[in-house]
């Protein structure tokens, strides 16, 4: 995939990208093989904005690579279309798409120097020699590779090889950069370093980027927006904070970070609010639009609550305490069953009077260390802010 048209625009990243660069319209992919028929993508609709860093996140086998390969043109959808800047490109072969794929295996030419590896695509595209020299210089400098131009790939560390692979992709000035788990071969420390470096370079160049990973931390740290996928469907699309704070489905709440899952019975429902019974009390929670069908009266709702939203205090007599709502929070008593100190925080497991287990995280500072916390076996009073309870669907409804 090569392209030698206009240079990428430098974006102001404070503003949200608005122009649609790539549109995926009702894309379905069925693989027919000896083992049978497999619907890898069901009905994918997705807009990718100009200049954004979009991550496709989901467990292994959910269809991430298939979707990326359809964007690149290596796979044809069974149904549906891919549009680039408004034009249908579904049947355009990969080498005629202004896109570049950055692979997990570095796939550098072993007999070419760093400089020549980077220049290769431009040579093939018959870019004039002086322009090649200029463009390679610029990319070497952005990628912090200036001193390594004469080395062979075998003389580079893993991180340096990954930077060369990226340099080789961006030097052709693609409209869209595609990444399929490019960091999963690297060890943990290098992966962390590369992910911030990759993000810095993407910001600097402003190239629309689609990044596939199964690693939620990587997705959270790098992305403007995250697309969470499961079993060939999109579960939710949002900024990292939206995905974390406002998960629509139990799948998303569970896949991104940790969540307490509390079953509740819906006593009364009015629009986007519902009175629910949980932990022996009745309270009102917000109901997201996706709950339209499951959220009727008498039905069981599922509420999720992040561990860091739970406050814990020592409490003398949990047996005598009745759950109540006070100052916008549910107050329940129980015992501290487990306490795990992990340095920056302590992970607590509480068992409430009715047997419900609640996970809780207390982050530490110099002023509030682990010694301020109750001990295993102690009575505790837990405070669950009602505003932090979120009703979720078990699965997104897919048409
Ligand atoms: N060429 C193929 N033939 C048959 N099945 C395939 C093919 N490519 C992918 N699949 C199947 O489609 C599903 C999605 O695969 P993939 O997109 O690679 O998932 P992911 O990248 O999310 O791990 C998997 O069940 C996989 O086995
Ligand atoms: Mg994959």
Question: How does DSSP classify residue 397?
Answer: -
8 Å CB contact between 265 and 301: yes
Nearest in space to 126 (alpha carbons), one of 301, 2, 271, 233: 2
d(CA 5, CA 66): 28
Q: Can you give the pLDDT at residue 391?
A: 87
Ligand 1 lined by 68 (C-beta under 6 Å): no
Give ∠ CA 18-23-29 in degrees, rounded to 5: 150
Collect the ranges in the chain with pLDDT lower than 70. Answer: 1-17, 104-106, 289-297, 394-399
What fold is seen in the domain 20-245? Rossmann fold (3.40.50)
Looking at the CA of 63, which ligand is closest? Answer: 1
Q: Is the CB of 65 under 6 A from ligand 1?
A: yes
What's the CA gap between 268 and 108, in Å, rounded? 62
Domain extents in the chain: 20-245, 250-392
| Contact (CB, 8 A) for 122 and 135 | yes
Output the pTM of the full model.
0.89
Answer whether 279's CB lies under 8 Å from 389's CB.
Answer: no
pLDDT of residue 68: 98
Tell me if 227 CB under 6 Å of ligand 1: no
Does the beta carbon of 42 lie inside 6 Å of ligand 1?
no
Ligand 1 center from residue 61 Cα (angstroms): 6
CB-CB contact of 60 with 26 (8 Å) = no
Burial (CB count within 10 angstroms: exposed 0-12, middle 13-18, buried 19+), residue 172: buried
CATH code for residues 250-392 = 2.40.50.140
Q: What is the C-alpha separation between 144 and 339, in angstroms, rounded?
A: 45
CA distance 350 to 335: 6
Ligand 1 center to 108 CA (angstroms): 25
- 284-287 long-range contacts (CB < 8 A, ≥24 apart) are 284/386, 285/386, 285/389, 285/390, 285/391, 286/390, 286/391, 287/391
Atom of ligand 1 nearest to the CA of 75: 1
Q: Token pair 């406050």 is at which residue?
A: 311
Kindly report the number of other CB atoms within 10 A of residue 65's CB atom.
17
Protein residues with C-beta less than 5 angstroms from the ion ligand 2: 65
Structural tokens at position 321: 């305490």
Same fold, 20-245 and 250-392: no
SS3 for 48? strand
Question: SS3 for 92?
Answer: coil
Q: How many CB atoms lie within 10 A of CB 69?
A: 18
The residues, any chain, with a CB within 8 Å of residue 282's CB and separated by 6 or more, are: 267, 275, 276
20-31 CB burial, b ≥16 within 10 A, e <16: ebbbbbebebee
Summarised one tens digit per residue, pLDDT across range 99-116 is 999 876 567 899 999 999
The per-residue pLDDT for 393 is 76
Q: Which token pair is 60?
A: 């292994």
User: Is the shortest distance between the CB of 38 and ligand 1 below 6 Å?
Assistant: yes
CA distance 213 to 223: 11
Q: Does an H or E element contain 388, and which? A: none
Mean pLDDT of the chain: 89
CA gap 204, 195 in Å, rounded: 14
pLDDT value at position 14? Answer: 54
Residues 304-345 have pLDDT tens digits of 999 999 999 999 999 988 899 999 999 999 999 999 999 999
> What's the CA-to-centroid distance between 187 and ligand 2, angstroms?
19
Note whether 272 and 309 are within 8 A (CB): no
């Amino acid at each position: 995939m090569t392209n030698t048209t206009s240079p990428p625009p430098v974006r102001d990243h404070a503003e949200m990208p608005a122009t649609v660069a790539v549109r995926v319209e009702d894309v379905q992919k069925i693989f027919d093989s000896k083992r049978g028929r497999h619907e890898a993508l069901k009905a994918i609709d997705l807009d990718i904005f100009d200049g954004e860093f979009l991550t496709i996140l989901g467990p292994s086998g959910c269809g991430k690579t298939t979707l990326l390969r359809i964007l690149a043109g290596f796979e044809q959808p069974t149904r549906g279309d891919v549009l680039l800047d408004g034009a249908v490109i579904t049947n355009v072969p990969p080498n005629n798409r202004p896109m570049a794929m950055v692979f997990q295996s570095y796939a550098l030419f072993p007999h070419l120097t760093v400089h020549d590896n980077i220049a290769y695509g431009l040579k093939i595209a018959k870019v004039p020699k002086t322009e090649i020299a200029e463009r390679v210089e610029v990319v070497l400098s952005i990628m912090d590779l200036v001193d390594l131009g004469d080395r062979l790939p075998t003389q580079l560390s893993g991180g340096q090889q990954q930077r060369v692979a990226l340099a080789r992709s961006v030097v052709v000035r693609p409209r869209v950069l595609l990444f399929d788990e490019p960091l999963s071969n690297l060890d943990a420390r290098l992966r962390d370093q590369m992910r911030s470096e990759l993000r810095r370079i993407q910001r600097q160049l402003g190239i629309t980027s689609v990044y596939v990973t199964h690693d939620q931390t990587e997705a959270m740290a790098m992305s403007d927006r995250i697309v969470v996928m499961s079993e060939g469907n999109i579960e939710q699309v949002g900024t990292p904070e939206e995905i974390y704070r406002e998960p629509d489905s139990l799948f998303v709440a569970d896949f991104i970070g940790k969540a307490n899952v509390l079953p509740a019975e819906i006593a009364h429902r009015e629009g986007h609010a519902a009175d629910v019974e949980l932990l022996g009390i009745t309270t009102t929670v917000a109901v997201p639009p996706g709950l339209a069908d499951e959220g009727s009266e008498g039905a069981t709702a599922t509420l999720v609550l992040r561990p860091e939203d739970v406050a814990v205090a020592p409490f003398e007599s949990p047996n005598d305490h009745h759950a109540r709502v006070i100052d916008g929070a549910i107050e329940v008593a129980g015992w501290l069953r487990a306490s795990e100190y992990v340095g920056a925080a302590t992970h607590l497991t509480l068992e409430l009077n009715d047997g419900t287990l609640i996970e809780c995280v207390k982050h530490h500072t110099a002023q509030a260390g682990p010694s301020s916390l109750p001990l295993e076996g102690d009575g505790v009073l837990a405070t669950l802010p009602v505003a932090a309870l979120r009703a979720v669907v078990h699965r997104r409804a897919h048409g």
